[in-house]
Amino acid sequence: MRISRAPNSVKPMIHTENLSKKFKDLQAVDRLSLDVREGEVFGFLGPNGAGKTTTVRMLTSLIGPTSGTAVVNGFTVGKQDTDIRRSVGILTETPGMYDNLSAEYNLRIYAELYEVKDVAGQVEKYLRMLGLWERRFDEAGAFSKGMKQKLAIARALLHEPRLLFLDEPTSALDPESAHLVRDFIAELRTEGRTIFLCTHNLDEADRLCDRIGVFKSRLLVVDTPSNLRASVFGRKVVFHLRQTGEALASAVRALPFVREVKAIDNKLLVNVDDPETRNPDIIRALVGAGADVQFVGELRHSLEEVYLQLVKNA
Amino acid sequence: MNKIRTIIRKEWAEVFKNRMVLFTVAFMPLILTAIPLVILAVTGGMSSGSELDTNLSELPDQFSSFCPADLNPMECMQVYLVSQFMLMFMIMPLVIPVTIAAYSIVGEKTTRSLEPLLATPITTLELLVGKSLSAVIPAIVATDIAFGVFAAGAWIIVRDKMLLTALLDARWLIAVLIVGPLMAMSAVCVSVMVSSRVNDPRVAEQVSMVVILPLMAVFFGQLAGLITVSRQFVLIIALGLIFVDAGLFYAAERLFQREAILTRWK
C-alpha cells in the first residue's frame, strides 16, 4: 500500500489515523490513514459497498468511528462534532430535498440551521449562481433530477464551507446536467475549497481530482491520476514509423533504460520510466538504425483500467 | 432555540400541505365539539320530571358525584352526559400529534431528507424537540380552541351559572390544560419509536394509534360504571403521565440518535 502524505508545509484539511468502523461482523472501514490537503480535490473511488459513504459519514461526524482518530478542518471527530458539522458542507448520495416546499424555502431552512448571518443574501447568491433564481418559488418536487442536485449543491455551500464532501454528485444525471455539475465543481476548486469527492465516474475523477484514493474497506492506494497510471502500467511511448521490423525493435531494446519493447503493425511500443528525458535517445537510436519516425505519443491508460487493475488485485 | 423554531416552521410548512393532516387537525375538533353541544341543546329542551326523573335513580352510583345538590335531576343528566365527552376531547391531543409526527418523521425517511438535516450543526435533542413540538403544539391549540368553543357554546345553550360551573368544573380544566399536553407528548414519543421501524406514514399512524387504547379503556370503564373520572382521578392520571412521558421521551431520545437513524432505521 502506498499512501502519499501531505507535506508538513501544507495544512491537512482531513487527517485520519487508523480510522475504522465495524457494524456487527462487517468491517466497513479498516484502519484508514489519510491526509487530504487544503485546496485539493481528492477523489475517493471504490466499488459499491466499499465503505465510502461510511467514511464520509464518519468524517462529517454523522456516525462515530469504532476506533482510530480523525481530525477534520482542525476539529476532532467524536469530540468536536458540532464544530465539524458547522464547518463542512455535504452533498449526500440522494438530494433529500423537501419536495413540498419551494426551492427558496428549502435553502432558507438550511441557512438558518447552519447559522448563516445573511440568510436571504446567501440563498439568493447560490440560487443565482446555479441558475435556479427564476424558479425559486417552485416546489422542489417539481424540479428535474439535475435541478434538484444543483439545489442540493447550493444547500451544501450556503455557509461557505472550506471543506466540501460530495457523494456521487453526478450519479443519475443526464450528460448535460452532469457536465454543469462538473463545471461547478471545477469552479469551486478555483475558489480554493477542499473537495472530498466520492464517485464511480472515473473520467470525472480523472478530470477533476488532484489525487485519488482507491478504497475497498481499506485504502489500497493514494496518488495523482498520472502517478497511478505509471505505477500500475508503467509509462509507454508509441513510436509511429513508416516501416518497422525486428532490427528496429532490437536497436531500441539495446538501450539500457528501456524496460520493454513491442512491435505492433508500424508502431513500436516502448515501456520507459522517464519518457521526457529518454525519448530523444530512443529517436536517435531509431534514426541511426534507419527508421523513418513519423510521430511520437504516450499511450495513456484510462483511469478505469488502473482502477480495475487495483481493485482486482485487492 | 432558533434551530428548534426553524424545525417547527419547516414541519408546519410541509406537513400542513398534507390533506390527511389538515383534515385531522381541522375537522376532528369540530366534530368532537359539535357532538356534546348538540347533546346539551337536545337534553336542555327536554322537560324535567316524568319518566327521566324516575330513571335517574337507575344511573350508576358515581353519577351522584357529578351533581351538586342544587341541580335538578335533568341538569344532572346533562352534566353526566357531557362529562363523558371530556374523554372524547382527550382524543384530540392523542390523534393529532400521532398524525403529524408520523408524516413528519416517516416522510423524511422516505425522501431521505434526514441525512442532510442531521449533517447540520443541529443537535439531535434540538431536532427531536423541534419535531415533537411541531406535533404537540397544534394538538394543544386545537384542543384548547375546541374547549373554548365548547365552553362558549355551553354558555349560550345553558344560560345557567350553576349548571355551567358543574359542566366546566376543575376536571375539565385539568384535563384540557394539563393531561392533554402530557398525552400529546406520549403520543409523539410513541410515534417516533414506531416511525423508526416503518416506511409508510399511514402504517406509522395506524400503529401509533395504540396510544388511544388506555383512553378508550377509561372511557368504556366509565360508561360501564367501573371507573369514576373524578378530579382526583384526573390528577392521578396527570401525575402518572409525567412519569410515562419521561420514560417515553428517554426511549425516543435514545432511538433518535444520528447513528441509529442512519444505520438502524429501516
Domain extent listing, chain B: 2-44+61-265
Residue A218 lies in a domain: yes
Q: Domain limits at A18?
A: 12-223
Say if residues B152 and B96 touch (Cβ distance below 8 Å): no
Mutate which of A24, A66, A88, A100 to test chain B, going by most B C-beta atoms within 10 A?
A100
Q: What is the 3-state secondary structure (H, E, C) of B155-172?
A: HHHHCCHHHHHHHCCHHH
Q: Which one of A166, A192, A223 terminates a domain?
A: A223
The cell for A90 is 455535504
Least CA distance to B258: which residue of chain A?
A62
Same domain assignment for residues A45 and A108: yes
Residue A2 lies inside a defined structural domain of this protein: no
Q: Kindly report the CATH number assigned to the domain that includes residue A241.
A: 3.30.70.100
Domain for residue A46, yes or no? Answer: yes
Would you call A62 and B259 a contact, using CB atoms and an 8 Å cutoff? yes
Rounded Cα gap, residues B35 and A247, in angstroms: 106
Shared domain for A219 and A239, answered yes or no, is no
The answer to the question of residue A185 being in a domain is yes
| b (16+ CB within 10 A) / e for B108-138 | bbebebbbbbbbbbbeeebbbbbbbbbbbbb
Q: What's the N-to-C CA distance of chain A in angstroms?
A: 10
Judging contacts by C-beta atoms under 8 Å, the chain A residues touching residue B8 are: none
The grid coordinates of residue B37 equal 353541544
Q: What is the pTM of this model?
A: 0.80
Q: Is A201 inside a domain boundary? A: yes
Is A265 domain-assigned?
yes
Residue A160 phi/psi, 5° resolution?
50, 55
Same domain? A272 vs A301: yes
Examine residue A81 and state whether it is found in any structural domain, yes or no. Answer: yes
Q: Flag if A97 and B119 touch (Cβ within 8 Å).
A: no
Percent helix, strand, coil in chain A, to 5, is: 40, 30, 30
Q: Give how many domains chain A has, as a whole number.
A: 2
Q: Is residue A118 located within the same domain as residue A191? A: yes
Compare CB distances from B13 to A64, A99, A101 and report the shortest one's residue: A101
Write out the three cell numbers for A307. 482502477
The residue to which cell 390544560 is assigned: B177
Burial A270-283 (b: 16+ CB within 10 A, else e): bbbeebeebbeebb
CB spacing of B10 vs A63 below 8 angstroms: no
C-alpha cell at B194: 414506531
Residues A88 and A148 placed together within one structural domain of the fold: yes
Same domain for A194 and A294, yes or no, is no
pLDDT per residue of chain A (314 residues) written in tens, 0 to 9: 434 444 445 678 999 999 999 988 889 999 999 999 998 999 998 888 888 999 999 999 999 999 999 999 999 999 999 999 999 999 998 888 999 899 999 999 999 999 999 999 999 999 998 888 999 999 999 998 888 888 999 999 999 999 999 998 888 788 888 888 888 888 888 888 999 999 888 888 888 899 999 888 888 888 888 887 777 777 788 999 888 888 888 888 889 988 888 888 888 888 888 888 888 999 999 898 888 889 998 887 777 777 777 777 76
Give yes or no: residues A61 and A158 share one domain. Answer: yes
ipTM surpassing 0.90, yes or no?
A: no
Q: Convert the pLDDT of each residue in B8-20 to its tens digit.
A: 999 999 888 888 8
A3 is a domain residue: no
Query: Which residue in A20, A69, A8 sits closest to A215, CA to CA?
Result: A20
pLDDT in tens, chain B (266 residues): 789 999 999 999 988 888 888 888 888 888 888 888 888 888 776 645 555 555 555 555 656 666 666 767 777 777 777 777 778 888 888 989 888 888 888 888 888 888 899 999 999 889 989 999 999 999 999 999 998 898 888 888 877 777 777 777 788 888 888 999 999 999 999 988 888 778 787 888 888 888 888 888 888 887 777 887 788 888 999 999 999 999 999 988 888 888 888 887 66
